[in-house]
Amino acid sequence: MIGPFVTMAVGMGPGEPIDVPGGVVISIGDRCVIGRGVSLVGRRRIVIEDDVTFAPDIYVTDHNHAYNDLRIPIGRQWLDEDPVRIGARSWLGTGVVVLPGADIGRHVTVAAGSVVRGTIPDYSVVAGAPARVVRRYVSGEGWVPPLRHEVVTPAWWTVDDLADAPGDDGAPAPPSSSPGDDGATAPPSSSPGDDGATAPPSSAARRAP
């Protein structure tokens, strides 16, 4: 579902040649919810995997103006690009900004107003500017630090695609270190997708001209 006043833009202007694999710049997976006033601005690759929920007023981009050339105004310098991936089953709160090169893992909660760059691990909660890990799910321990209270899903609320907790079915479990042990999340050393991390386009896609 895509809410009102959502912007999806590709390129600097009409007719600009953009060379991307398959011709797809922005792809949105199945059962995603894109809230009111979200902006997705791409040139290289923005992948939103299945079951991702966006609150209102989120900005996601895979490029920024360079500023290294002191002879040219920043707004007229060419663009620095780095693909973005938002992992399946994640939730982004109101006012989140996702910067070029962000690689957000599976089942991640991003607190309202956060600015995300670099790699965010699976099954984590991040907050702040820049966003830092404030809670992780650890196999055998649960959420670390513990949740203040756990919400129980009522029986009448139908969820067709329940997933086991990480590690319960042999899936790789997140590292057992406590959140914050390694400080801020570092920018990735390679672009998301270099190792096949990004998923192929799904139910909705924006194609380059």
**Could you give all domains of the chain from N- to C-terminal order, each with its CATH number?**
1-136+178-201 (2.160.10.10)
Spell out, as residue ranges, where the chain has pLDDT lower than 50. 169-171, 176-209
User: Identity (one letter) of the amino acid at 149?
Assistant: H
| Separation between Cα atoms, residue 30 and residue 161, nearest integer Å | 12
**Interior angle at CA 157, CA 170 and CA 146, nearest 5:** 55
109-110 and 79-81 as β-strands: parallel, antiparallel, unpaired? unpaired
Confirm whether 65 is a catalytic residue.
Answer: yes
Q: Phi/psi class of residue 43: alpha, beta or left (left: φ > 0; alpha: ψ in -120 to 50)?
A: alpha
End-to-end, the C-alpha distance of the chain in Å comes to 24
How confident is the model at residue 165, as a pLDDT? Answer: 61
How confident is the model at residue 185, as a pLDDT? Answer: 45
How confident is the model at residue 138, as a pLDDT? Answer: 95
With contact defined as beta carbons under 8 Å apart, do 206 and 42 qualify?
yes
- Contacts with 73 (C-beta within 8 Å, 6 or more apart), sequence order: none
- Contacts with 149 (C-beta within 8 Å, 6 or more apart), sequence order: none
Q: Counting Cβ atoms within 10 Å, is residue 163 exposed (0-12), middle (13-18) or buried (19+)?
A: middle
Largest CA distance in the chain: 63
142-144 and 132-138 as β-strands: parallel, antiparallel, unpaired? antiparallel
Find the catalytic residue in 63, 65, 107, 149: 65
